[in-house]
Structure 1
């Protein structure tokens, strides 16, 4: 009958809990730091999720407030659109006239497509009737919340990886120095034995 162990006694588990005499104190320190880093990374996940939830609530409220104070108005172009080609978009700017709350406004606005003189198109305006950008799409708050949660968690992961790397580098320097001393002692001991013989 085959048997297996749930926690094989290898790696950092063996370094922390094993009684092998070949495991050095520096190995145990390195394994302990790695285990603590893993625990901190796991504990950071719910904290990052809570941060994402807070960002979602804040941004949702902000976007809802924007939507309450932004309105669609119908504008009439008083000139042809001017096209501007950007690296990742094409923009159309046009002089337009519109009426909002019995007040006429004439302003240069951005249209979603090319328009000619006297063409009608829709724009977004604030409570005073001034042209404003369109409100963000409904899912924007969710995307920002996910981004904040993931970035904060990845920040913890990178910090812990840096700490583990720094500890390992320092311990390797100590190990190499110890090996050098032991090799020198070994060579010096053999040299003394040869002289005595």
Structure 2
């Protein structure tokens, strides 16, 4: 039954939950009802997953606000690095990474290795982000990042609910399969021992 196509499985569930049929066992009805409950859980989990995503979005937006309050940007230019492995090599396959940048702070010129999300060649302008102490930090997250985090949280909550329901149905079905196998074995033994004397007639 585990190899049933989806359409056949749906038909089997409808038959199991439909009108009384002497061929449909109670265990079949329980299994069909459990399968239906998986779809019910999938639907009921949607608002909870959506709320979890909204909470994650709000929390990340508060984090972004905090980052914007404690970080500020300065304009700098890319300068040759003392270590050639730090400077991105210009070309089609340039890889992004730490970049040596230089900018002016008051009357002083400051040179630091800074994170740079895009490839930049010598002399090109880059934006450097600093915290309230002047330490180089990553750029603040964006609302797009918050949206991605929210989507991931929603999907995780919904998937966890559905997977839990599926595992519970799987465990129930395993128990029902053992029960059905035991019932079949008991009925076969009864048939073999008591069949109106047919089995004893040839012994």
**Cα gap change, 1:139 to 1:20, in 2 (>3 Å):** same
Structure 1 match to 2:188 = 183
Question: Within 5 A, what are the aligned runs for 1:121-132?
Answer: 121-132=126-137
Show the counterpart of 2:32. 31
Mark the runs of 5 or more structure 1 residues left unpaired by the alignment.
1-9
Bigger Cα displacement from structure 2, 68-77 vs 52-61: 68-77
Distance 2:133 2:44 in 1: 48
CA drift of 1:177 comes to 1.5
TM-score by length of 1: 0.77
- C-alpha change, 1:73 and 1:189, in structure 2 (3 Å) is same
Structure 1 residues 185, 92: closer, same or farther in 2, change over 3 A? Answer: closer
List alignment gaps of at least 5 residues for structure 2: 1-10
Distance 1:143 1:48 in 2: 14
The answer to whether 1:59 aligns with 2:60 is: yes
Q: Residue 45 of structure 2 corresponds to which residue in structure 1? A: 44
1:113 aligns with 2:114: no
- What's the TM-score once normalised by structure 2's chain length? 0.75
> Does structure 2 conserve the Cα–Cα contact (< 8 Å) formed by 1:16 and 1:31?
yes
Distance in 1, matches of 2:200 and 2:97, equals: 93
Partner SS state of residue 141, structure 2: coil
* Superimposed CA distance per residue, residues 11-32 of structure 1 (whole angstroms, 9 cap, x where no aligned partner): 3344335222222121122122
Match of 2:159 in 1: 154
Q: Distance in 1 between matches of 2:77 and 2:61?
A: 32
